[in-house]
Amino acid sequence: MSTLLRIGTIVVVFALAAYSIGIYREHRKRLLTKSILTFITLGVILNIIAIVYMIKGSPDSAFTLHKILGYLAFAGMFTDAVLLWRICIKDGLYNHIPKKIHLYSRYAYLWWVVAFVTGGLLIMLG
């Protein structure tokens, strides 16, 4: 495994931690707080960094099954962050998150975790 791929793998673990904390807090409080926005945004930023390192460090094509899953999962994660930021800008902090967005956050998170796990399985099996 190349050094860039190793760095990307480490960074994506931190992205998982940050995004997980943000989603956990969102589902527990059902309110939009500064810490929720911070952790979800940090997860997105770290995931972008990880994706760049993994693309640069991978000898494979940019369009393998895992990468397509990952791109779609990132799109869901990014959309989730945008929706939460729109609520923050429109209504401010400490407002209830609409049920549809709350449910979307859960599905986006689960999809992202599936992409994360498949990446780990590919490393273990390869």
Least confident residue range of 23-32, 42-51, 69-78, 117-126: 117-126
Residue-wise pLDDT for 8-58, tens only, equals 999 999 999 999 999 999 999 888 999 999 999 999 999 999 999 988 888
| Domain extent listing, the chain | 3-125
- At the second CATH level, the architecture of 3-125 is Up-down Bundle (1.20)
Quick one: how many helices (H) and strands (E) in the chain? 4, 0
Contact between residue 94 and residue 32 where contact means Cβ atoms under 8 Å apart:
yes
Tokens of 99: 């049920």
Return d(Cα 65, Cα 39) in angstroms, integer.
28
Which residues pair with residue 96 across a beta bridge?
31
- Comparing 55 with 80, the larger pLDDT belongs to 80
- Comparing 67 with 23, the larger pLDDT belongs to 23
pLDDT of 1 strictly over 80: no
What integer pLDDT is reported at residue 62 of this predicted model? Answer: 67
What integer pLDDT is reported at residue 99 of this predicted model? Answer: 92
Q: What value does the mean pLDDT take over residues 105-114?
A: 94
pLDDT of 66 strictly over 90: no
| pLDDT, the chain, mean | 91
- What percent of the chain has a predicted confidence (pLDDT) above 70? 98
